[in-house]
Copies of this chain bind each other. A is one copy, B any other.
Amino acid sequence: MINKIGREIPDEILKQYGKEGYQGPNYRDNVRYKKAAPMVRGVVDPKQDKMVSNIREALEKCKIQDGMVLSFHHHFRDGDYVVNMVMAEVAAMGIRDITICASSLGAAHDPIAEYIEQGIVTGIQSSGVRGKIGEAISRGKLKTPAIIRSHGGRVRAIEEGDVHIDIAFIGAPTSDAYGNARGVGGKSDCGVLSYSMVDAQYADNVVVITDCLVPFPNFPASISMTNVDYVCVVDEIGNPDKIISNAIRMTKDVRELMMAKYCTRLIADSPYFQDGFSFQTGAGGASLAVNTMLRPIMEEKNIHMGFSIGGITQPICEMLKDGLVRNIVDAQCFDRASIESIKNDARHFEISTSEYANPMNKGTFANKLDFVILGALEVDIDYNVNVVTGSDGIVRGAPGGHPDIAAGSKCSIIIAPLVRGRIPTICDRVVTAVTPGETVDIIVTDYGIAINPRRTDLIEAYKNTHLPFCTIEELRDMAYEIVGTPDEIPFKDRVVGIIENRDGTILDVVRELDEEC
């Protein structure tokens, strides 16, 4: 079938997964469904001990079997040791046909590509699929199509029962012996454990892996003992230097600063820029610069941010400290300053990824967002955004919260340079649609700004704003003029990846690369 954004989704894929094609952002609004539920084991006897000596013992006690679904979180990002540590033991036990359901996978997980080749891992469900894992998927090595979900979409899939986790592994900077685990403390401090909260609640078996055991009760707990079966202490759960950067990059790039300036003006001149407004931005150079540029305008107009959300960085923490931001709600800490902030500032809160963006619960922070600033690998003339496949057709990115907050927010702004090297960012048709165009409001490039024509209210609001507005087609034409019309990427028919919309419908598919063309 051809879905609502004109993507062809093979009928056999829809049938096999019991899914529909994408039908619009609010298609499933008010739909009633029964939540999923785990099989759990009651710990009635107070004498029960949850400590296990090593990962092997945890796997044995959880009765690991061929074909199981194992889950992981990515708060340790490029410094994560947990996925590889567990999977090495799974491989050593001769277990096969494992599906990894991770909140994201990154460069730290290249060894998994080898397990894919060997049939030890035959399914991947993740936001990020980068590095060698991405290459293995695009080259057709994974037995089943990778399922790529946004952060909110992953929680939805688990809470709706689309995926059932047999064993969840939760790397925790600190835990007590009864499984109360926190994102702070110890030597592998990552601030929050937001991504893993849904795993703890919906997995049949839950194993906390820590390198810092602390006295009971380790409170306030990100992960509650009430959901944890076993606790395993290892030497190191991650590389602290790669878990968190000590400082984020402040851009001096004039092109980035110019786009940030445009973006700041768009926010300040919009009808949503009022006391109590809410805001999410990423850790990219231009995004971060917007924080800095917005600040004097907020001070001048005596406007305070109600809440800031998302991947949290130093500039927002400083605005919290200075009273310009009233609350930070945090599902991921990006730097040292944000970890210190969540430890010390009572208005900086850890939230679950369900609270962040699961579209099928009863309401999220994403729904309450005014402005979001996002990036893009490609944007097409229908405003569809690709943040997953590179210009070579290989999966190398992650939707993260992109589709969630684009859909939830009142004004979603994409910042991206018009061209990157010889690649046009604005194009006729994105290789892979990850965020549907009807949820994308404004595209800011270094050559001009396009407002989605369906946002007549925003076009009206900016009629007296002097910025280089143009149409998205004009942006595309400029891009193609500079770098030429991009060649088609040669793909085979076989589907190797499924881009699931946050509500569980299918937005697009990724096909196997045809490297012989």
Contacts and interface: CB of A to CB of B under 8 A. Distances in A.
Interface of A: 25-46, 48, 50, 178-179, 206, 215-217, 219-220, 224-229, 276, 306-307, 327, 329, 349, 352, 354-355, 358-368, 407-410, 503
Contacts of A367: 43, 45-46, 48, 178
Contacts of A503: 42, 44
A503 to B, nearest CB: 6
B43 A28 contact: no
Given A46-B368, A228-B362, A362-B179, A32 B41 contact: yes
A126 to B, nearest CB: 23
Contacts of A219: 327, 329, 349
A354 B217 contact: no
A468 to B, nearest CB: 29
Nearest to A178: B363
25 contacts: A28-B42, A29-B44, A30-B43, A31-B42, A32-B42, A33-B40, A35-B37, A37-B37, A40-B360, A40-B361, A43-B367, A45-B367, A46-B368, A46-B408, A178-B363, A179-B363, A217-B306, A219-B349, A224-B352, A224-B355, A225-B362, A225-B364, A226-B355, A226-B358, A226-B364
A94 to B, nearest CB: 25
A227 B362 contact: yes
Given A29-B43, A36-B37, A48-B363, 4 more contacts: A32-B40, A44-B359, A44-B360, A178-B368
What are the 4 tightest A-B residue pairs by CB atom distance, in nearest-first order? A42-B360, A46-B367, A35-B37, A226-B361
Nearest to A307: B217
Given A32-B40, A34-B38, A363-B226, A46 B410 contact: yes
A38 B40 contact: no
Nearest to A205: B362
A266 to B, nearest CB: 19
B362 A276 contact: no
A64 B48 CA distance: 43
A44 B32 contact: no
A276 B217 contact: no
A42 B361 contact: yes
A409 to B, nearest CB: 8
B45 A34 contact: no
- The residue in A25, A37, A276, A409 that gathers the most chain B C-beta atoms within 10 A of its C-beta is A37
A42 to B, nearest CB: 4
B29 A216 contact: no
- The residue in A31, A217, A329, A358 that gathers the most chain B C-beta atoms within 10 A of its C-beta is A217
B362 A42 contact: yes
A403 to B, nearest CB: 12
Contact of A226 (B31, B38, B42, B354): B354
A306 B216 contact: yes
A347 to B, nearest CB: 8
Nearest to A26: B45
A48 B29 contact: yes
A46 B31 CA distance: 14
Contacts of A307: 216-217
A156 to B, nearest CB: 8
Nearest to A44: B29
Given A44-B25, A46-B408, A368 B216 contact: yes
